[in-house]
């Protein structure tokens, strides 16, 4: 007898009425009307069942610090970096840990069970690094946290940053970060990319750089990142986060750049909520959207994920850990409104970031971890439309979160007593 049988699930690829067998924390079989007996059966009742949401880009050291020591008045990236610099000197390890753990509780309730978080290493104490390594240990039973050593104030611009980055990696941080557009010159940015890629290649590590988070169309560090990725054989292990300058680049140059990114196997991580908020702040009208060219990257065969980036911190005053909200915004900003494109937006918060993070045994095949989310929706497009409740969240086959579906009661003569926002009953 197996541990658990989920009956009548709809899958993200469109298959309907599927059963999922789970034993010892793994998926053991998947198919229609499985002839199996289980210690527990759950009727998914035609709801979407998907592997968990994954956030490819976040900052867990700054999360829930909104208003400390003050709010960002201009709404720009640069004021946010300045504000974080003020806050950084007053951080305590306990406060960082408590805020991060609170956010991870929210994440679990949202079916978000894997997060790649950058952690600022431009602090000789490495206080945030030690705090997030402790958080990683504490949440490991229910959430996969992958940390990126992030030189927020510039690898070359900030004294001691490279040495700190190496110390952070030695302590257990597993991905090499960077911020070439924040170095003093274009040349220094290119040099930082080279040094970081060579270090990652030596150490056998993945790379994820904040890259060209700028409206300057001449910010072309992604070109250098693709070059060194290809040169050093790092294909499939490198991501460029933000890439917002691509929004403003000349079309001819982009037509050269996209195949270079594809050739190098560099992934792109857009952060729709933050890009639409921070970019275009120096424009009058028309105001640029600023998000990177998601449909064109996908058409060129580049892996693309969406990240949340920030929740209630010096850069963003909203957010609640909901990757469906991120997908919803990405869909709108990129005008990805066809059925196929909307499904790609769901993949950009599930399977695509799972591949970028290198998550093992992620997915819905037999042998995969039984980490699953049942959404209050019939398919992944409806899940995005409704930012559907995560009715059940399972980790290794165990239920770790439940949310009741929203139902409004109506008092209208001759009309239904309730509405649930689904087009048709399942």
Could you tell me which stretch among 24-32, 222-230, 246-254, 302-310 binds Fe ion (CB under 5 A)? 302-310
Query: DSSP 3-state helix, strand, coil percentages of the chain (rounded to 5)?
Result: 35, 25, 40
Segment 306-325, which members bind Fe ion (CB under 5 A)?
A: 309
Is there a catalytic annotation at residue 213? Answer: yes
Minimum CB distance to Fe ion, residue 179 (Å): 9
Closest CB to Fe ion among 55 and 309? Answer: 309
Quick one: 316 or 375, whose CB is closer to Fe ion? 316
Assign 125 to helix, strand or coil: coil
Least distance in angstroms from the C-beta of 124 to Fe ion = 22
In whole angstroms, the minimum distance from the beta carbon of 57 to Fe ion comes to 6
Least separation in angstroms between residue 148's CB and Fe ion is: 9
Give the nearest residue (CB) to Fe ion.
Answer: 309
Candidates 11-19, 261-269, 289-297, 301-309: pick the segment binding Fe ion (CB under 5 A). 301-309
Cβ-based nearer residue to Fe ion, 215 or 309: 309
Q: What is the secondary structure of 260-297 as a DSSP string?
A: HHHHHTEEEEE-HHHHHHHTTTT--SSPP-----HHHH
Smallest separation, CB 205 to Fe ion (Å): 18
**Least distance (Å) between residue 178 CB and Fe ion:** 11
Measured on CA atoms in the order 168, 169, 174, 178, is the torsion positive or negative?
A: positive
Catalytic residue among 213, 223, 303, 325: 213
Residues 6+ apart with CB under 8 A from 268: 239, 240, 243, 261, 292, 294, 297, 302, 303, 304, 305
Count the residues of the shown chain that bind Fe ion, applying the rule CB under 5 A: 1
Rounded to an integer, what distance in angstroms lies between the CA atom of residue 78 and that of residue 278? 9
Please list, in sequence order, all residues whose beta carbon lies within 8 angstroms of the beta carbon of residue 272, skipping any fewer than 6 positions away: 291, 306, 326, 329, 330, 332, 333, 334
Neighbouring residues of 364: CB distance < 8 A, sequence distance ≥ 6? 11, 12, 20, 27, 30, 49, 50, 51
Binding track over 122-161 against Fe ion, x by CB under 5 A: ----------------------------------------
102 alpha-carbon distance from chain centroid: 18
Please tell me the distance from the alpha carbon of residue 305 to that of residue 241, in angstroms, as a whole number: 9
Active-site residues, by number, are 213
Residues making contact with Fe ion (CB under 5 A): 309
């Amino acid at each position: 007898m197996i541990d658990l049988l989920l009956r009548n699930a709809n899958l993200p690829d469109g298959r309907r009425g599927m059963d999922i067998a789970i034993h010892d924390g793994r998926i053991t079989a998947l198919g229609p009307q499985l002839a199996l007996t289980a210690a527990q059966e759950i009727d998914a009742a035609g709801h979407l069942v998907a592997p968990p949401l994954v956030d490819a880009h976040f900052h867990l050291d700054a999360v829930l610090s909104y208003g400390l020591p003050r709010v960002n008045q201009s709404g720009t990236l640069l004021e946010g970096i300045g504000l974080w610099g003020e806050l950084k000197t007053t951080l305590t390890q306990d406060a960082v840990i408590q805020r991060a753990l609170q956010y991870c509780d929210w994440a679990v309730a949202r079916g978000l069970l894997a997060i790649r978080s950058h952690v600022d290493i431009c602090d000789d104490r490495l206080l945030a690094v030690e705090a997030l390594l402790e958080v990683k240990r504490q949440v490991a039973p229910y959430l996969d946290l992958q940390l990126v050593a992030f030189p927020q104030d510039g690898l070359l611009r900030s004294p001691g940053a490279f040495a700190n980055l190496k110390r952070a990696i030695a302590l257990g941080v597993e991905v090499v970060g960077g911020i070439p557009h924040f170095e003093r010159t274009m040349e220094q940015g290119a040099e930082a990319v080279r040094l970081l890629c060579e270090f990652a290649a030596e150490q056998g590590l993945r790379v994820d750089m904040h890259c060209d988070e700028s409206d300057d169309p001449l910010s072309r560090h992604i070109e250098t990142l693709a070059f060194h990725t290809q040169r050093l054989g790092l294909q499939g292990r490198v991501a460029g986060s933000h890439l917002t300058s691509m929004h403003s680049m000349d079309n001819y140059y982009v037509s050269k750049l996209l195949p270079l990114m594809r050739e190098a196997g560099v992934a792109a991580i857009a952060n729709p909520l933050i890009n639409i908020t921070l970019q275009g702040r120096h424009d009058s009208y028309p105001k640029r959207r600023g998000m990177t060219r998601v449909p064109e990257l996908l058409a060129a065969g580049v892996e693309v994920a969406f990240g949340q980036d920030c929740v209630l911190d010096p850069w963003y005053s909203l957010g609640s850990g909901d990757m469906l909200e991120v997908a919803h915004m990405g869909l709108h900003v990129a005008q990805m409104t066809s059925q196929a494109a909307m499904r790609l937006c769901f993949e950009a918060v599930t399977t695509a970031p799972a591949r970028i993070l290198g998550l093992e045994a992620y997915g819905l095949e037999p042998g995969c971890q039984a980490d699953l989310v049942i959404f209050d929706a019939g398919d992944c497009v409806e899940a995005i439309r409704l930012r559907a409740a995560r009715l059940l969240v399972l980790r290794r086959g165990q239920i770790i979160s439940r949310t009741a579906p929203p139902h409004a009661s109506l008092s209208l003569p001759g009309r239904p007593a309730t509405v649930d926002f689904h087009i048709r009953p399942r």
